[in-house]
Amino acid sequence: MFNSILSDLKNQKPLILNLTNYVTVNDVANCILAIGASPVMSEAPRDAVELAKASSAVNINIGTVNRFSFRTMLKTGIAANKCGKIVVLDPVGCGATKFRTDSCKKLISKIKFDVIKGNMSEIKTLANIFCKESIQNPADISSDEGHTIGVDVNSSDAITEKNLSQNISLVKKLAQETNCIIAASGKYDLVSDGEKCFVSSNGHELMEKVCGTGCMISGMLGAFVSCRKENKLEAVAACICSMGIAGERAVRKSNGGAVNSTKIIDELFCMTDDILQSEAKCEIK
């Protein structure tokens, strides 16, 4: 599992274009550098479209989306599709407001995404939009705006041992309906292509106190998937596990002190294929 993916990534050094939010932009760039890829950020439509053609992947993160940045995201995603580039969506806060939810709906309707990564509240909101008719139990999905708590998961949506099976089914269904890989984050991270589902339990609860780990993952996803186009599912799972392992290692070295993004980025820089292979807690369902 995950054979030599980090070594391949460092050798290929893919260029990753990020249309991301201003809260975490520096950490996103640094974590992409830490794993051996090259980040570039843009907001101007003409610039971003041109960069998409030169990049290996495009990361679209709606964390601070507005009507102007949305247009850039839409044009850039469509341009990336025409060039056969990897495109990732992080639907930050989808379900918290109508604007965010509608933005995600329009992006997914117009752009072919390779990966959509979000917390379980965001994923349930998308399931309500794209596979409501095929979900047997309506209680499995979110139907009301404001269900997502800001940019955080609603506690009622948290992935637990008790609801793991139904959440795996939901993630698989959304992957089938959107024809892309779905990654849902939580105590258990779920990564599915609609047929198989990787279940990872790497990570630490203190990572929830660090702003930007989700944004960092969405930036990294483009790098991992672009160097494993023949096995995108495994690449996404490897990326998720890498972040979880980095968080675990950062917590261990903090000796009970605070954990921040810098410490996690340090661990990503030190990540090797051997560490990933030996410390990944991942199984296929």
pLDDT in tens, the chain (285 residues): 788 999 999 999 999 999 999 999 999 999 999 999 999 999 999 999 999 999 999 999 999 999 999 999 999 999 999 999 999 999 999 999 999 999 999 999 999 999 999 999 999 999 999 987 666 555 555 545 556 776 767 767 778 889 999 999 999 999 999 999 999 998 999 999 999 999 999 999 888 889 899 999 999 999 999 999 999 999 999 999 999 999 999 999 987 677 899 999 999 999 999 999 999 999 999
At 158 the pLDDT is 77
207: CATH: 3.40.1190.20
At 147 the pLDDT is 65
Of 58, 282, 279, which Cα lies nearest the Cα of 191? 282
At 255 the pLDDT is 79
At 214 the pLDDT is 94
Per the structure, the count of domains in the chain is 1
The DSSP result for the chain, as a single string, is --TTHHHHHHHH--EEEEE--TTTHHHHHHHHHHTT-EEEE--SHHHHHHHHHHSSEEEEE-TT--HHHHHHHHHHHHHHHHTT-EEEEE-TTBTTBHHHHHHHHHHHHHS--SEEEEEHHHHHHHHHHHSGGG-S-GGGS--STT-SBTTB--GGG---TTTHHHHHHHHHHHHHHHTSEEEEESSSEEEESSS-EEEE----GGGGGSTTHHHHHHHHHHHHHHT-GGGHHHHHHHHHHHHHHHHHHHHHHHTTS---HHHHHHHHHH--HHHHHHH--EEE-
Structural domain boundaries, residue 245: 5-284
